[in-house]
Structure 1
Amino acid sequence: MKLEGVTVVPGYGAPVITDATVTIDDQGVLTQIGAGPPGELYLVPAAVDLHLDNLVERRRPRATVALEPATVLAVLDAECAAAGIGTVCVAVRCEDSPRKGIAIADAPVLAQTIERLAPVLACDWRLHARVELTDDGALTALRAVLAKSTRVAMISMIETTLARSRFATLAELREFYSADWGVSEAEVEDVFRVSPERDRLVAQRRTEVADLARAHGITLASHDDRTPEHIRAGHAAGATVAEFPLTLTAAEQARDLGMTVVLGAPNAVRGRSTSSANLLVADAVRAGVCDVLCSDYLPSSLHLATQVLDANGAAELAHAVDLISTRPAAILGVSQPGIAVGAPLTAALYRRCGTTLVGEALWRQGRQTFARMPVPSPVASTELLPR
């Protein structure tokens, strides 16, 4: 396969190669990078997504409809492959919250489904166990997930209460969820209110979750930390990753403790968070306190975020691509994505069409697991979508 008009981002901070012609053999090995004409194709390391949490919405498209996990995963796999993601850590929710559409009994079912389907899927699917520390059944659910699957790659500890939500004010929390769920603001408070008895168990559960992660050799993360004190509590329990720190001071504390800071790519693409007071990805990248970007809920946001960060001057493209590929791969210890002559590709090929990225192909360790067409045609982006 010979591709012309390609921008190659090798990974690991190596310089970007523009206006290239690349040759890939039948084994998925990159055999040559040469000079070529300008074009709209990009060959980049495949993304490694530490956190994708959109199965609840996909499985329950209507209030009275609950789709089988396998049905949803088969289609979501194709979407993630088209989005250029080589490894996906999909969230399995260890909590029971009917008003949020979350059933704790779904957790081991999803774990078993991933275990069964993984060998035939385009992406390398792993599990990210999200453990709600205020839920009485969370630890039992986590143990069931660990018993059903060998693919648990991360465990995150979440403490969702009125005092510790991702919103800076109670008014914001009420307004967002009443609109999202179609309920009254009083009902929103009922969902987030935790009794003093359950609240006292949070510290004990944090220790037990950390012990399970340590025993299984699984990366442990804290989640939605607003203050340095929140970060220190997670770190003291054994967390090496800080997911979605909500403020710059929390992210700086995580960095100072040697934790990996993970933020959401949709934040970078949209230029804002769900709460107006929360940390922006562009600001975190400029401040040197963002190590990894995850898709959060939108697979297509990962590679698009790299283009946005490059365009707004927050990070050069080579650095931005590492945030979604080589860095998260190192955390998980999975096959390192990267592009080098003579090596099998773990890479994504996409076409930039104005401000839209169209996935063309995905390779994992030389095996092409997704292709939109046998060989991308040399159609200019201006013929598809105006800039």
Structure 2
Amino acid sequence: MLPDLRLVGAKALTPEGYGEQVVCLSEGRIMDDAPMREVDLSGFMVLPGMVDAHGDGFEKHLAPRRGAMKDMGLGVVAAEAELAANGITTATLAQFYSWEGGMRGPTFAERVFSAVRDVQPRLATDLRTQLRFETPMLEDYDAARDMVERFDIPYVVFNDHLQHDVLEKGKRPKRLTGQALRIGQNPEKYLAYMQMLHSRMDEVPAALEILADQLSDMGVRLGSHDDRTKVQRQDWHAMGVHIAEFPETVEAAEAARQAGDAVVMGAPNVVRGNSHNGNASALDLITMGLCDGLASDYHYPSMRRAAFFLAEAGVLDFAGAWGMISSGPARVLGLVDRGELAVGQRADLVILDAESRDVCATISGGQVSHMRGEVARRFIG
């Protein structure tokens, strides 16, 4: 934990606005101005730490090559270092529980959640977990609920990536053979499993309603993924699923807003100017007031790039743009103690070079998770 500090000389973003302000840290919290050791951060920006509501960029650290990562904990530590180097102080690691197997299968999910639980006490970044559950897996509903309970997973998102239109016609999904061989499965058995899941889809709604109720009773936040229609989103809302992740159409996002549900979009979508697969533009949804926060999705650096883009393009003022990657996602996740540099909040902040906008330091809960160069010299003195 850092000692009591007064950060002076920097331009800071606080509830009072953006400008040269003093930011005080004490016992892991933002505090009122008081006699403390001063650190001169002239030439830098002090901003609220980024809150990532959904990201899978950690995967490359856990399994860079098949069989390369025997100690999953080492991969989590490496992922945390990348998160911190990108100014992220709270990260949601989105892990699949899917019929697809391999890194998306239940066994791998068990290893990931075990590793996060084991190494979290050694890390500064607040690593939170999300279970991305494939709804056609009817025989796994009890096991998934048990996994959520055992690992105290606070956030579950429902997915369905089966190619139902192809399976309905009796055809083979694209890339089936390569996907099966990659995870060590016989392609024909893999196809038969997919066909079995597809054949039972009429049983899913009733089972899903029970599972959603059970998870809600456990205090778990629930989200849906890739909604396309108003009816889809209304159905999810009726089941207590109040977060719409990456809706694919304006229609679905509008339905979420009308129901009072949160919408999360991908920061890479903003940076690119559109979705990589032709879905709704995050920029359009933000402009229309239909987005509550941005997530890293698959690329951690995109979060701060998206915020500066939104501000410079005049879509939002700087406070609103930065809020898309800090206070907005914090509210979506129900984290009332972070997202702003307000008195009493967690000391979660990122220090950027005012000219290059490089991340020079990240502090999470009053602990340094990343620090380098001139900022490190000024802190050390």
Q: What are the residue-to-residue correspondences of 1:85-234 with 2, within 5 Å? A: 85-98=88-101, 101-150=103-152, 152-162=153-163, 194-195=195-196, 196-234=198-236
Distance between the aligned counterparts of 1:300 and 1:153, measured in 2?
Answer: 25
Q: 1:10 Cα deviation (Å)?
A: 1.3
Distance between the aligned counterparts of 1:353 and 1:63, measured in 2?
Answer: 41
Superimposed CA distance per residue, residues 235-273 of structure 1 (whole angstroms, 9 cap, x where no aligned partner): 121111111101111101110011101111111122121
The aligned residue for residue 339 of structure 1 is: 341
8 Å CA contact 2:209, 2:239 repeated in 1? yes
The structure-2 alpha-carbon separation of the partners of 1:58 and 1:377, relative to structure 1 and needing over 3 Å to count, comes to: closer
The aligned residue for residue 357 of structure 1 is: 358
Distance between the aligned counterparts of 1:308 and 1:194, measured in 2?
Answer: 44
Q: 1:368 Cα deviation (Å)?
A: 2.5
The aligned residue for residue 285 of structure 1 is: 286
Identity %: 26
Q: 1:327 Cα deviation (Å)?
A: 2.5
The aligned residue for residue 41 of structure 1 is: 44
The aligned residue for residue 79 of structure 2 is: 76
Superimposed CA distance per residue, residues 93-122 of structure 1 (whole angstroms, 9 cap, x where no aligned partner): 111314x64221122222222222222211
Distance between the aligned counterparts of 1:10 and 1:358, measured in 2?
Answer: 18
SS in 2 for 1:157: strand
Q: What are the residue-to-residue correspondences of 1:60-71 with 2, within 5 Å? A: 60-71=63-74
8 Å CA contact 1:326, 1:337 repeated in 2? yes
The structure-2 alpha-carbon separation of the partners of 1:344 and 1:325, relative to structure 1 and needing over 3 Å to count, comes to: closer
Length, aligned pairs only: 353
The aligned residue for residue 314 of structure 1 is: 315
SS in 1 for 2:162: coil
SS in 2 for 1:142: helix
Distance between the aligned counterparts of 1:338 and 1:74, measured in 2?
Answer: 26
* Alignment pair present for 1:248 and 2:250: yes
SS in 1 for 2:284: helix
SS in 1 for 2:84: helix
* Alignment pair present for 1:6 and 2:10: yes
8 Å CA contact 1:2, 1:23 repeated in 2? yes
The structure-2 alpha-carbon separation of the partners of 1:192 and 1:304, relative to structure 1 and needing over 3 Å to count, comes to: farther
> Bigger CA drift: 78-87 or 247-256?
78-87
- Which residue identity does 1:148 align to in structure 2? R
- Which residue identity does 1:9 align to in structure 2? L
The structure-2 alpha-carbon separation of the partners of 1:272 and 1:331, relative to structure 1 and needing over 3 Å to count, comes to: closer
Distance between the aligned counterparts of 2:327 and 2:192, measured in 1?
Answer: 38
8 Å CA contact 2:233, 2:255 repeated in 1? yes
The structure-2 alpha-carbon separation of the partners of 1:53 and 1:212, relative to structure 1 and needing over 3 Å to count, comes to: farther
> Bigger CA drift: 283-292 or 305-314?
305-314
Q: 1:333 Cα deviation (Å)?
A: 3.1
- Which residue identity does 2:250 align to in structure 1? L
Superimposed CA distance per residue, residues 53-112 of structure 1 (whole angstroms, 9 cap, x where no aligned partner): 2344332222454443211110111111222222111112111314x6422112222222
Q: 1:154 Cα deviation (Å)?
A: 0.9
The aligned residue for residue 331 of structure 2 is: 330
Q: 1:317 Cα deviation (Å)?
A: 1.3
Distance between the aligned counterparts of 1:84 and 1:217, measured in 2?
Answer: 28
Distance between the aligned counterparts of 1:323 and 1:340, measured in 2?
Answer: 17
Distance between the aligned counterparts of 1:264 and 1:299, measured in 2?
Answer: 10
* Alignment pair present for 1:368 and 2:367: yes
The structure-2 alpha-carbon separation of the partners of 1:275 and 1:145, relative to structure 1 and needing over 3 Å to count, comes to: same
SS in 1 for 2:154: strand
Distance between the aligned counterparts of 2:193 and 2:22, measured in 1?
Answer: 53
- Which residue identity does 2:122 align to in structure 1? V
Q: 1:148 Cα deviation (Å)?
A: 2.5
8 Å CA contact 1:69, 1:110 repeated in 2? yes
SS in 1 for 2:353: strand
Distance between the aligned counterparts of 2:90 and 2:41, measured in 1?
Answer: 30
8 Å CA contact 1:292, 1:323 repeated in 2? yes
8 Å CA contact 1:88, 1:123 repeated in 2? yes
Q: Give the structure-2-normalised TM-score.
A: 0.80
> Bigger CA drift: 89-98 or 335-344?
335-344
- Which residue identity does 2:89 align to in structure 1? G
The structure-2 alpha-carbon separation of the partners of 1:193 and 1:137, relative to structure 1 and needing over 3 Å to count, comes to: closer
Q: 1:193 Cα deviation (Å)?
A: 5.9
